[in-house]
Structure 1
C-alpha cells in the first residue's frame, strides 16, 4: 500500500486491488510509561476467517516440498522422546504449545535478543490464527551455523535429534525454520519495512539518475 494524496478523479478510475491491512500486535501490551494493566491471560481459541488478511490458496506453495525433505530422516522411525531430549544439547530454548498457549524453557542465552523476537513471531501466530496451531513441542537453536552434522547419524538405526534452526546445508540435518527475527531484532538496527522501502526507492531513483 502506498501513502500520499490522490485526486478524486484517480479514485473513481482506479480499482483498489490491495489486500486488507494485516493487524499488528506490539510486543508491549499497553502504552505509556506508568503501566498498570497487564497482558491478557486468555486469547480467542477459534479462528474467524470472515475478514482474512489475504485470500487462501487452494494448493500449497512449491517450497512446501522442502518440509518433507527436512523431515525425511524421521519418516520411518518417527520422533521419540529420547530424540527430542538429546536436541537439548544444542538448543537455546524449548517451545511447547498446548491448547493455544505457549510455554518456554530457556537453556542458554542466544546471541543478543534473537530468541525474543523469534518467540514474538510465534505469539503473533497464536493471536492472529487462534485455534489453528496444533499442540507441539520443539527444540530451537538461534545460531547462524548448523549444529546437527549428518555424518554423525548414518545407517538404518540412526536417530538424529530434531533441532529447529534458521539454517541448514547439505551436510546437516537441522530442520529449517523461517527467520523473522530481523524485523524486531533491535541490536542490528534494521528500520521498519515501510520506511526502508521508501529509502530503497529513493536510492534506486538516484542511481538511475547518475
Structure 2
C-alpha cells in the first residue's frame, strides 16, 4: 500500500533574487524541519485540485496556473511509509500576497534559492528538479507576467531573467532581443520618484505573450 500527496514549488522574485516559499513542520518525523508546502490527496480530489488547495491555504491565491513538474516515487523517499508525490510549480510576486503557515506548521517564509535551510526527505531533489525546469522554460517561453507589476522597466524585466537563470546578462543584448520579439508595449510613460534618470515603462502584449507561451521560441543568451 502507499499514500499519495502533492507538493508545491512556489517561486517568487524580489529585488533581483529568486525565492522559494517553504514551511516548517510541527509534527511527525519532519517536526522542526523545512520543506515544500504540500498535503495528502483527499477523497474525490484530483492531483491538480489538491495542489490548488495547498496553494490557496498558504497564499490565498485561487486563480493562478500551476504546472505539473514530475511524480516522485522512490521507495525510500519517506521514512515511515511508501509515499508517492506529484510536484507542481508556479511563479508569483511575494510582496503581493500574505503567506501563512498551515494548521500543522510552525512557520512559513520565503528563502533565496541560493540560501536554503536543510530540507526534509527528498525536497532538495524536488527543488533542484524544479529549478532546472524553470531555467529551461525561461529559454523557450516568456516569463514575468506573474512576477512584475502591470507597468515595468526593461531593467526590472532583466532582473527577473537574471534571477531565474542565475547569471548576469548583457544589458544592450537583452533589451534588443526583448524589443525585437514585439512582446512589449511602450506605455509612453516614465518612472516617477526616481533619484536618477527615469526609465521608460512597458507592459506585456497579452495576445503575443499567450501566443509565445503556446508555440515557444529560443532565447539565446
TM-score w.r.t. length of structure 2: 0.23
- Point out the structure with max Rg over C-alpha: 1
The structure where strand makes up a greater share of residues is 2
User: Which protein, 1 or 2, shows the higher relative CO under an 8 Å CA cutoff with sep ≥ 6?
Assistant: 2
TM-score w.r.t. length of structure 1: 0.23
